[in-house]
């Protein structure tokens, strides 16, 4: 028995040594971080901050590449099909998790065909409207949209994104059963059309909207957090505006190809969590309006499963049909 235990101990030490050796050599080269939306949006901004810190910590380049299209699935498919070596990552938002719920022909199942790495943060949503509109309060926007529904269209950066779910919640809370929507290839092009008055409303992560809102190019109306955001403290919450059930948020995560070795997934989880902690301490996340999240791979997996279930119920209740 003692000899067996000794052999077991030797075997475990050898295994631990091989894992440590694999991790010490990883990453061997540059890491590619794919953002499945256009540059300049909230997901892109968050990805670039994380990529820079991660690259500094690992002493390798972490290169952000934008691959927009097909509701984020072009970039998603690129990562799904990549060599499962942990060197190609997907940085996306909650949109990625809902591909099966919002696409008529989804190219993959996000819960079973990717390896989750880490969820990095959460951010409240903010509603902005075209700057030429006279409304300044949520109640005024709802009243105007009810009175002239043909004159109000909401921009959707992607189907299944937090912005989409937030817009559904807005329509439900305001009893706007016929609110028109227009789908875009990311936040930036949608926001440009709101600024130009081509569409009237956009509800999206505050990280993506705050710049143009502060510059007066779009008009902020409310935020969807339970309390006001430190990024734009003068903007009231939906709760303050008379809609106590209108509380929701966006979130950001990192995934890689499904069959990536478990030791590499754990290494990346630890590395991303360290980067998030450093960015939080430096105030970089606060400046973007992001609340940091540091959790294990398994925590992320469970969170995503619960999020998909809850979101599917919301989409079904709104009568949404996959497109």
CATH of the domain at 226: 3.40.190.10
| In a shared domain, residues 128 and 243 | yes
| In a shared domain, residues 129 and 165 | yes
| In a shared domain, residues 143 and 206 | yes
CATH of the domain at 33: 3.40.190.150
| In a shared domain, residues 99 and 236 | no
Q: Does residue 1 belong to any structural domain of this protein?
A: no
Q: Which residues contact 293 (CB under 8 A, 6 or more apart)?
A: 118, 119, 120, 121, 122, 251, 276
Q: Does residue 11 belong to any structural domain of this protein?
A: no
| Domains in the chain, number | 2
Write down which residue in 249, 267, 284 finishes a domain: 249
| In a shared domain, residues 174 and 220 | yes
Q: Does residue 69 belong to any structural domain of this protein?
A: yes
Q: Does residue 71 belong to any structural domain of this protein?
A: yes
Question: Domain range for residue 170?
Answer: 124-249
| Beta carbons within 10 angstroms of residue 200's beta carbon | 22
How many helices and strands, by DSSP H and E, does the chain display? 11, 10
Per-residue pLDDT of the chain (323 residues; tens, 9 = 90+): 434 334 333 333 443 443 343 445 798 889 999 999 989 888 999 999 999 999 999 999 999 999 999 989 999 999 999 999 999 999 999 989 999 999 999 999 999 999 999 999 998 899 999 999 999 999 999 999 999 999 999 999 888 888 999 999 999 889 998 899 999 988 889 999 999 999 999 999 898 899 999 999 999 999 999 889 988 999 999 999 999 989 888 899 999 999 999 999 999 999 999 999 999 999 999 888 888 999 999 999 999 999 999 899 888 888 888 87
């Amino acid at each position: 028995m003692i000899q067996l235990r000794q052999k077991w101990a030797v075997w475990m030490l050898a295994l631990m040594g091989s894992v440590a050796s694999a991790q010490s050599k990883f990453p061997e080269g540059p890491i590619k971080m794919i953002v499945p939306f256009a540059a300049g949006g909230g997901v892109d901004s968050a990805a670039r901050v994380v990529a820079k810190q991660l690259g500094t910590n690992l002493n390798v380049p972490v290169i952000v590449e934008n691959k927009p299209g097909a509701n984020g699935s072009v970039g998603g498919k690129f990562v799904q099909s990549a060599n499962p070596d942990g060197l190609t990552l997907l940085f996306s938002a909650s949109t990625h998790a809902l591909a099966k719920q919002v696409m008529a022909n989804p190219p993959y199942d996000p819960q079973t065909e990717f390896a989750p790495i880490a969820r990095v943060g959460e951010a409240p949503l903010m509603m902005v409207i075209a700057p030429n509109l006279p409304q300044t309060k949520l109640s005024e926007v709802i009243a105007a949209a009810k009175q002239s529904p043909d004159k109000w269209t909401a921009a959707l950066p992607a189907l299944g994104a937090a912005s989409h779910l937030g817009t559904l919640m807005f329509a439900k809370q305001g009893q706007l059963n016929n609110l028109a929507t227009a789908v875009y290839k990311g936040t930036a092009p949608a926001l440009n059309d709101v600024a130009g008055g081509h569409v009237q409303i956009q509800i999206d992560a505050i990280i993506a909207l705050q710049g143009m809102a502060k510059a007066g190019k779009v008009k902020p109306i409310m935020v969807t957090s339970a309390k006001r955001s430190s990024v734009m403290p003068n903007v009231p919450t939906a709760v303050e505006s008379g809609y106590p059930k209108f509380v929701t948020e966006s979130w950001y995560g990192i995934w890689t190809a499904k069959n990536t070795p478990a030791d590499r997934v754990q290494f990346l989880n630890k590395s991303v969590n360290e980067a998030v902690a450093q960015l939080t301490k430096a105030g970089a996340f606060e400046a973007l309006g992001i609340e940091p999240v540091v959790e294990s791979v398994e925590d992320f997996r469970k969170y995503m499963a619960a999020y998909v279930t809850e979101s599917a119920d919301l989409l079904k209740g709104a009568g949404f049909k996959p497109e």
